[in-house]
Amino acid sequence: MKKISIGLILLLSFCNSIHSQDKDWKKVDTRPDYSTKMTYSSYRSIKCFDSLNCMIYGALYGAGGYYFRRTTDGGDSWNTIFSDSAYFIDFGNEYWVPDLHDIAYPSRKIFIAVGDSGLIVRTADSGKTWHKSTYIKNCYLFRIRMFDENYGIIEGCKRPCNNDSDGFYLETIDGGETWNKMIRPPGISFAEFEIVNRNLICGLTWLTTPDSLRKEYIIWVHDGWKSFDTVPKPTYGFHFDFINEKKGWISGGKKILYQGFNVWTQVIYHTSDGGKTFDIQRDTMYNGVPIDDIKFYDENFGIGASEVSHVVMTDNGGKNWRNVKIAYTKPNDGYSYIVLSIQIPSYTTAYVILEYDYIYKYTRDWTDVVEEKIDTDFEVSPNPATDFIEIKQVTTKPIAIYSVLGIKLIESEYKEKIDVSGLAPGMYFVRIGDKVSKFIKI
């Protein structure tokens, strides 16, 4: 699964920023060895409901199959909770299991995976029981996005998936128990998409221009395809993440010729008006590889994934990006170690898959985060509190309460009086936008 890169070796001497493993990233899981002579195992995707509860989808190639692994203690321990594996009985006689392509983990109880032959695998009781169903056999289901534990969308296509008319979208309002086909305009499909809210989808799409050229656009789909708007996509952007209908980031790179080899720069764009305009936050060459993916937890904390065990991180919305090596690799081994499947379940926690084999976890000292963002005009009373806290702050932004580990425990629309009777005794942090204060629960 490793990719040899001769150009990369040359670039390592050019880029002096290669350094040892960052102390905030730790390996927390290694892929189980399910490999046989006919089967190879690899980690493909990780999704988290929160910083404690995450699920991994692992693929078995060759004879086929898949498995799911889960942590409920923030990565300290991982267990395989379901698998469906196929093995060759003899030459020409095999038991085939369709491949999976994407997973969703919208609540502690609900987990859904989708794949080839219309396969949908789902649990609604935290993995105690599993249900396999088929939408239609002659189709591929290759993306699933769940906005919450009830609402979600699957993207698929009827085989052979040769044109846009073969594509379709399924919608659920009951947590994946039932799926209904969405009516959409012909000729529009997503390169990727995400659900911004129940009435708004953001995606990347190809449209034919008046001069008969197909160009990629950012598309905003309103109210289940009742209407849509498009804006041009930045030329060198591959992947995107929008935290709301205004603020978003797109990552990618420009291919250039360096010392006779084709290499990439790293580019990150930012928009605060829904993609009408973009500013460039990063445009540099680092190890000759692009930023392959990007995810943001909120308007401040974000991570971009690359190769050579490398990510870029920001805690100020991309005004500054920090180069981070999450795992040590020999600088001259010629391999490109892929970082994929970013998950950021809290302001202090993130997970990635490294080279299809390992799960690495990022943990940031929450005390440092709070001290950076304390606002003395933001008052919480009474403090200490028992059943309720009152917040005197003029704002329309939602309120969130976090534990000292950075786990979001309460989130609601802003109101002066918040019920905290269900919290255990200890210290907690209240966050409204960029402003943070703390209180003691007794």
Report the SS3 class of residue 166. Answer: helix
> What pLDDT, on the 0 to 100 scale, is given for residue 249?
98
Report the SS3 class of residue 254. Answer: coil
Model-level pTM?
A: 0.79
Cβ-based neighbours of 54, under 8 Å, separated by 6 or more: 46, 47, 48, 70, 71, 75, 105, 343, 345, 351
> What pLDDT, on the 0 to 100 scale, is given for residue 1?
37
Domains defined along the chain, listed by start: 3-360 (2.130.10.10), 369-441 (2.60.40.10)
Tokens of 405: 């580990």
Query: What is the side-by-side strand order in the sheet with 180-181?
Result: 139-146, 152-158, 167-172, 180-181
Regions of the chain short of the pLDDT cut 70: 1-20, 35-39, 62-63, 86-95, 208-213, 329-336, 365-377, 394, 405
> What pLDDT, on the 0 to 100 scale, is given for residue 141?
96
Cβ neighbours around 161 below 10 Å, total? 14
* Pairwise CA distance, residues 15 & 18, whole Å: 7
The closest alpha carbon to 44, from 60, 59, 54, belongs to 59
How big is the chain by its Cα radius of gyration, in Å? 23
The closest alpha carbon to 267, from 241, 246, 239, belongs to 239
Tokens 């409920």 correspond to what residue? 72
Angstrom distances, CA of residue 243 to CA of 53, 57, 224, 294:
21, 25, 19, 12
